[in-house]
Every structure is written in C-alpha cells, then in structure tokens.
Amino acid sequence: MKIVLIGNGVLANLGALYLKKRFGESAEIVLVGPESREGLPVVGESIIEITTQFMENHLGLESYLRDHHLPKYSLTYYFKTEPENASDRTYAVHCAERGPDDLRDVQGWKSPMASPPSWLINREVFDRDMRKMVDDRGDIQRILGHVRDVQIQPGERHQLQVEAEGGETTTLSADWVIDITGRKQLLARKFNSIIRPEGQRDCFWFRVKGFDRDILKQINALGPMPPGPGEPYHYDRYYSTHHFMGRGHWIWMIPMKDEDGGDLMSIGFVSHPDHFPGQVNSMETFMEQVKSTHPVIWELVNSGKIVDTNLLKRYHYVVSPTYSPDRWAIVGDAAYAPDPLFSNGLAFGTIQWEQIGEMISQDMAGTLQPEFVNSMAEAFLGPVLATQTAISNWYETMHDPVLTAIRLNWIEISFFYLLLPLVVNRCHYQPDRLNYWKLLQNTSDTHPFDISADLIEARKMLDGISHDHFVYMGKEKINPRAMEVLTDLRGIFEQGVAGGKVRNEYTRQILEKIREVTTV
C-alpha cells in the first residue's frame, strides 16, 4: 500500500517513522514537502504525557529525549492575588507534584526524582533530528517540493500533482493521502471544511537566551513549595512549563537548552480579543504589558538576549471532518489550531497517528468500513472541541485567581483520571475499546473538562482574595494509575470513579471555605 504524506514538519516525520515501524514492507511511505519551513512558525516546545508515551513507546525516543532535551516535571501556574498591582509579587502557585512511585524509569536518567514524566524540547533541534532519523532509515522516500493539487478518486488511487524544488512537475499516485501541511491546509481549503470558532486568539512569542534563571524565583509564592533536596516529591520547579495568568490573557515560559547546552527559553503571550483590552504584537508592547502586570517576567527578559519573534493573529480553527472513507486524512496544524494552555497540540497529533494507523491496518485487511472512519473522526474531534470550549470559557475570568485555580484543578483531575488512562489503553482507536472513549462525552449540562455552575456562583460570594480561599491539589490530582496498561479494562472505570471522588472532595472543600469566609 502506498501512503503519501504531504508535509515536511515534525508531525510528518513522526508519522512516517510510526507508520513504517507499524507496517514495515507492507507500506510504501512517501513524504512530499519543501526543504525549509518557508516562514511557518515553530510551536510545541512543551509536551505532555500523551505525547511522551507515543514518542517513547512507539518510536523508542526515550534515550534521545534524555540526552538532548530538558525534563518537564509539571505544569506550573501563577495567579496574582492583586492582578492590577504591578508592585505586588504575591502569587498563588499551583502545580502537579508527583512522587517517585508515580514515574516510569528512564534508563540512564539521574536526577533528584526517579525520572521525568515529560519533556521540554528545543523544536529546532528536535525537528532536525526527527528528519534525519527518517532519512537515515533508507526505506522512506522523501520528495523535496510542493503538492500543487490532489485529485481524490474514491475507490481508486488518488493523483497528486507535485512540483519538485528544481521546477519539474510529476504526477504521484497514492492509496492514502495524508495532509500535514500545517497552516497552508491543502485539503481543508480544497474541501472548504475550515471552522473558525467565535472565541478567537492572538499570540505573540519569542525566544530569549543568556537570561538569569534565578529571577523567576523572586516572587512571594503562596501554596505548597517544592520540598528541599532529599525530601519526598522533590524537583526543581524551573523544569516545568510556567504559566502566568492575567486579564483575558496568559503567558507561557518554557525552558529549553540550546545546542551548546546553554539556557534558552520560549516566552509567549496568548490573548482573547474579546476579553483582553490591549494588543501585544511586538517586543515593545510585550515588555510594556508585563512591566505593568508581571515585572518578574520583564526583569528576566531584560537579563537576556532576544533570539527571534513570531506573531499569529486570530489563529484558532478546527477542520471537520479530519478523516474520510475515501482514504484521506488531515493531521496536526492542518486540522486544528488549539489554544496552547495545556500543551496539547502535538498530543492531538499523536492521537491522530494511532487512529490513522488503525484505519490503514483495517484497509490492508479489506475490512475498513465507512462507519468506522466516521467514528474515528468523531472520536478525535470530541476531546479537541471539549477542551478548547473549556479554555474559551476561562478567558473572561482568567485574571481571577480563585476561579482560575478551580478551573485548573478541575481540568487536570479530568486529564489524569480520565483522558490519559483512556489514551494509554488505546481507547481512542481500538475498535473493541471505543465505547470507553465515550466517557469523555457530555453526561449532563457540563463537560468533564468544564467546572460546575455551583462553583461559579459560589465564587461570586467572595469580595476579596486571601490565602485562605485556595485549596491546593499538587499531589491529589495526580492519578498514580494513569500510565498503567490494563488487561482488565474495568480499571478504566475504577480510575474514573476515583477521579470523580477527588473532584467531589475538592468541590466540597472549596464550597466549605467560601461558606466559612462569607458567614464570618
């Protein structure tokens, strides 16, 4: 079977490696894409457990990640108790704190914790190395050029018009065509299938090197601090994806290392135009904004040197459908542009590769049915829309530390007790397990990723913000069984029930704290 992947970015190369490893000589894999990114920005420097288990378990990248990139121990969130007061550096700090028993071993890894749950990757280095891994195999063909058109021919081989970088034009046939062209969106534009939700986003980001990393500690942090060396649950909080929350916006800070091993950091400003009153689209406007809201970030950036900048305006979209019974698929940025708040862009892409692999496997066996392809498209789009809707609902009150902490903990409980175990146990694509994936669907007026109305109403009862208003859930929201590969899938329900109990207890504690404060 001949499978043509249109694209030359990271998900194209990861997909080529995955499909070749899964199907071997049964699949002829051809990559068609330009030599360079042609100005397209790089995103996805912080990966999560879903991406990590794909890269390590399917592609064997465990030692590569250990040797060339930084560990990621957590997502860390900073909420100012006085959002409009620049001089106040008091933050409620929330993160996910694991114990050594919650982590899988990485051979050769040595650190205060047993091993990192995920990674902070330098995308330039990672993309280059993945491309080299593909080329070094020798059994994956790469054509440098552009696909100018695709003729989808149901029941027959598709025809692709390819213009090589030298200028010559050829026709390429394929049993399967997979569009990984990023924001060029070759197939989505051809089929007019791009959906732009009302809740749009703007994003300005840059990289800085040579900064003073100790500046990040110069805040008054409320909440649990990482224990000292030798104590349980120890890790260096620097090695996490940092999120600073503000009015209608949030800021990411992702530590990386450059090729010489020096400090490098990606910093981005994501805003919702309906809720953020200003505009951040340059270093000047970024520095002006953070100086008046998060001076610790202003100082850190000032201590280093800017490497490059990027800007995307009104970038949020999804494509439907992403898969077709006519044997084509749309993957990655060509299919969706999610809010990066939970670093799930590459995670969605790896979920897609496993789904596509299952569809191609059934096609090779002659058993692929249109109903299954449509169920795969629905299974993919469901959690994408659910998580993005929950994040969109967040922006209106993103500056509110109490409500933002509630939303954060609610979503992370759902992730660790529901979404992650479902992915680890292949419920997103294996036919006999797809029914479990429906646990992510609506069961009432709310979705598992969005908070209940009673919490929103209760928050309205608080006039001021104090340390006593927060319930910290660093350890409690981590499901110690989340990465278990189960033979008895009743364990999925057990974890879901356990997560429900954690969430109910968290809700009880929040409401109790609010009642205590408002009845005094």
CATH of the domain at 376: 3.50.50.60
Q: Are residues 115 and 248 in the same domain?
A: yes
Q: Are residues 83 and 204 in the same domain?
A: yes
Quote the DSSP letter at residue 241.
E
Nearest residue to 233 via CA among 115, 110, 97, 104: 97
CB–CB of 348/365 below 8 Å? Answer: no
Q: Are residues 96 and 235 in the same domain?
A: yes
* Buried-exposed string 386-405: b where 16+ CB fall within 10 A, e elsewhere: bbbebbbbbbebbbbbbbbb
pLDDT one digit per residue (tens) for the chain, 520 residues: 999 999 999 999 999 999 999 999 999 999 999 998 766 777 889 999 999 999 999 999 988 998 899 989 889 999 988 888 888 899 988 888 766 555 555 566 665 445 678 999 999 999 999 999 999 999 999 999 999 999 999 999 999 999 998 889 999 999 999 999 999 999 999 999 999 988 899 999 999 999 999 999 999 888 766 666 666 666 778 989 999 999 999 999 999 999 888 999 999 999 999 999 889 999 999 999 999 999 999 999 999 999 999 999 999 999 999 999 999 999 999 999 999 999 999 999 999 999 999 999 999 999 999 999 999 999 999 889 888 888 998 999 999 988 898 999 999 999 999 999 999 999 999 999 999 998 886 544 456 788 888 888 888 888 777 777 788 888 889 898 998 999 998 999 999 999 999 999 998 998 888 887 777 5
- The answer to whether residue 362 is domain-embedded is yes
- The answer to whether residue 514 is domain-embedded is no
Q: Are residues 308 and 326 in the same domain?
A: no
Span between the terminal Cα atoms of the chain, in Å: 71
CB–CB of 145/162 below 8 Å? Answer: yes
Check which CATH number belongs to the domain holding 218 and give it: 3.30.9.100
- The answer to whether residue 19 is domain-embedded is yes
The per-residue pLDDT for range 366-415, each reduced to its tens digit, is 999 999 999 999 999 988 988 888 899 899 999 998 889 899 999 999 99
Q: Are residues 285 and 212 in the same domain?
A: yes
- The answer to whether residue 358 is domain-embedded is yes
Q: Are residues 17 and 53 in the same domain?
A: no
Q: Are residues 368 and 330 in the same domain?
A: yes
Q: Are residues 209 and 273 in the same domain?
A: yes
- The answer to whether residue 237 is domain-embedded is yes
Cβ atoms within 10 Å, residue 408: 24
Q: Among 313, 335, 360, identify where a domain stops.
A: 313
Q: Among 392, 416, 432, identify where a domain stops.
A: 392
Q: Are residues 178 and 207 in the same domain?
A: no
Q: Are residues 331 and 186 in the same domain?
A: yes
Q: Are residues 211 and 336 in the same domain?
A: no
- The answer to whether residue 500 is domain-embedded is no
Q: Among 313, 343, 366, identify where a domain stops.
A: 313
Amino acid type, 57: N
- The answer to whether residue 476 is domain-embedded is no
Q: Are residues 233 and 306 in the same domain?
A: yes
The per-residue pLDDT for range 279-321, each reduced to its tens digit, is 999 999 999 999 999 999 999 999 999 999 999 999 999 999 9
| Residue appearing with tokens 């899988």 | 104
For the chain, what is the domain count?
Answer: 2
The per-residue pLDDT for range 63-122, each reduced to its tens digit, is 899 889 998 988 999 998 888 888 889 998 888 876 655 555 556 666 544 567 899 999
- The answer to whether residue 205 is domain-embedded is yes
How far CA 189 is from CA of 330, 378, 445, in Å, comes to: 11, 20, 34
Residue-number span of the structural domain to which 28 is assigned:
1-36+131-193+318-392
